[in-house]
Amino acid sequence: MKTPSYLSKTKMMAGMQCPKNLFLQVYNKKLAAPITAAEQMIFDQGNLVGELAQKEFKKDTALVNTAYWDFKGALTKTEEFILQGKKNIFEASFSYKGIFARVDILEKVQSSDGQDVWNLVEVKSGTKVKDENVKDVALQLWILENLGYKVQSCYLMHINNQCVFPDMSNFFHKQDITARAQELKDSVANSIIELKQMVDSQQEPEVDIGPHCNAPYECKFKAHCGKHLPKDSIFLLPSMEEYDFKEEAWKKKLWGFYKKNIIEIKDIPEGELNAKQQIAKKVHVQDQSYIHRQGIAADLKRWQWPLQYLSFNSINPAVPFWEGVRPYEQIPFQYTVGLGQGLGQDLGQGLSQGLGQGKVVYKNYLHNDSKDPRLALAEQLVEDLKGEGSIA
């Protein structure tokens, strides 16, 4: 195996989440899961947000527009722009001890005593400052300071989700995180040195699966590292609670089971499960369906007939482009509504006896142009529903 000349900031951040992640990215990347369409959309949105952030810096700008893999070219171009005295350099690139990082926006300013200093600006498509964002900036700060650059301030530019299109003047919120980045810098530096030594050794670290496989980001090697898990793994059993905080508590409990070598659903003690989970466990163990016919029948009796079966599809773009829309606001663009014909209140009794009669006739709407879909969709939906029955 050949040790790489440079390790990117992205790889080092992955390594701080899990050293094995970094090692596999460097030496066995083919084991990674492919990028999904949803992930690619997130990447594309991030690029768009980055381009919008650059437009906030209008004077004397320069873009280091080299291929992502051309580290030497990026370093050379950055040095040229700095020597030319450029005030705002986008994707400014630096390397120290083999660690390579691109700074989203490097802004030259004057200190209180008239010296040229730099502001480091990291752009994120999220709506708040996260711990991993500060760690990211701390890594960049460590590189720049060790190269002799005087960094005055570190900022995180993130999306303001209260911005309403078409007024995009407050789309970004620029938050000073200098103190937090400085506080993390030394611990990040220690982690980087250890990770670099691990990569140079070419010895894959022994790291078992754990909460780090999903936080702060889902690992692309999760399937590879978890290939020892059985078909009915404990991780297939959800909390079956309606509150997110209970879901998180259940995930922690699952990792506790795993550490005790409780790996299959059938081995989870009954006392550790709520009533719904006990039913789910029985379904897995006995490999048969469970239908609460009496409960369904009781609910159906409270509904008005005919039933309307309604489902939506929506988008939530980071950058709004229709009037009155905020970043990440859900905008429906498609629906399917099914009218239960020949289905009456006697269906409740039929279900309790294992019977069901009638048919469902479907109507669909798909907005197929670039205009705001909300009004047209709402008008057609009102027409299709006709004000009849309950919506299921």
Q: And the tokens for 186?
A: 């030394």
Torsion over CA of 332, 336, 342 and 348, rounded to 10 degrees? -60
Rounded CA-CA distance 107/180 in Å is 19
User: How confident is the model at residue 342, as a pLDDT?
Assistant: 58
For 320-353, write each residue's pLDDT tens digit. 999 999 999 999 999 999 987 655 555 544 444 4
Distances (CA, A) of 153 to 119, 129, 138, 186, 332: 5, 16, 11, 17, 41
For 225-245, write each residue's pLDDT tens digit. 999 999 999 999 988 876 677
Nearest to 43 by CA among 61, 20, 68: 68
If you search the block for the tokens 């992502």, which residue do you land on? 68
Q: Please classify residue 1 by burial: count the beta carbons closer than 10 Å to its beta carbon, then call 0-12 exposed, 13-18 middle and 19+ buried.
A: exposed
Nearest to 312 by CA among 330, 329, 334, 328: 334
List the pLDDT tens digit at each of the 392 positions of the chain.
888 999 999 999 999 999 999 999 999 999 999 999 999 999 999 999 999 999 999 999 999 999 999 999 999 999 999 999 999 999 999 999 999 999 999 999 999 999 999 999 999 999 999 999 999 999 999 999 999 999 999 999 999 999 999 999 999 999 999 999 999 999 999 999 999 999 999 999 999 999 999 999 999 999 999 999 999 999 999 888 766 778 889 999 999 999 999 999 999 999 999 999 999 999 988 989 999 999 988 988 888 878 889 999 999 999 999 999 999 999 999 999 998 765 555 554 444 444 445 688 899 999 999 999 999 999 999 999 987 788 88
Q: And the tokens for 323?
A: 């009037």
Q: And the tokens for 172?
A: 């970004």
User: Which amino acid appears at position 382 of this protein?
Assistant: V
Q: Are 314 and 391 in contact (CB under 8 A)?
A: no
> Residues 29-51, buried b or exposed e (16+ Cβ, 10 A)?
eeebeeeeeeeeeeeebeeebbe
User: How confident is the model at residue 358, as a pLDDT?
Assistant: 63
> What is the dotted CATH code of the domain comprising 7-18+35-201?
3.90.320
Q: pTM of the predicted model, to two decimals?
A: 0.90
Rounded CA-CA distance 235/213 in Å is 13
Encode the chain in three state secondary structure.
CCCCCCEEHHHHHHHHHCHHHHHHHHHCHHHCCCCCHHHHHHHHHHHHHHHHHHCCCCCCEEECCCCCCCHHHHHHHHHHHHHCCCCEEEEEEEEECCEEEEEEEEEEEECCCCCEEEEEEEECCCCCCCHHHHHHHHHHHHHHHHCCCCEEEEEEEEECCCCECCECCCCEEEEECHHHHHHHHHHHHHHHHHHHHHHHHCCCCCCCCCHHHCCCCCCCCHHHHCCCCCCCEHHHCCCCCCCHHHHHHHHHHHHHHHHCCCCEHHHCCHHHCCHHHHHHHHHHHHCCCCCCHHHHHHHHHCCCCCCEEEEEEEECCCCCCCCCCCCCCCEEEEEEEEEEECCCCHHHHHHHCCCCCCEEEEEEEECCCCCCCHHHHHHHHHHHHCCCCCEC
Q: Please classify residue 102 by burial: count the beta carbons closer than 10 Å to its beta carbon, then call 0-12 exposed, 13-18 middle and 19+ buried.
A: buried
If you search the block for the tokens 């016919």, which residue do you land on? 293
Mean pLDDT score of the chain, rounded to an integer?
93
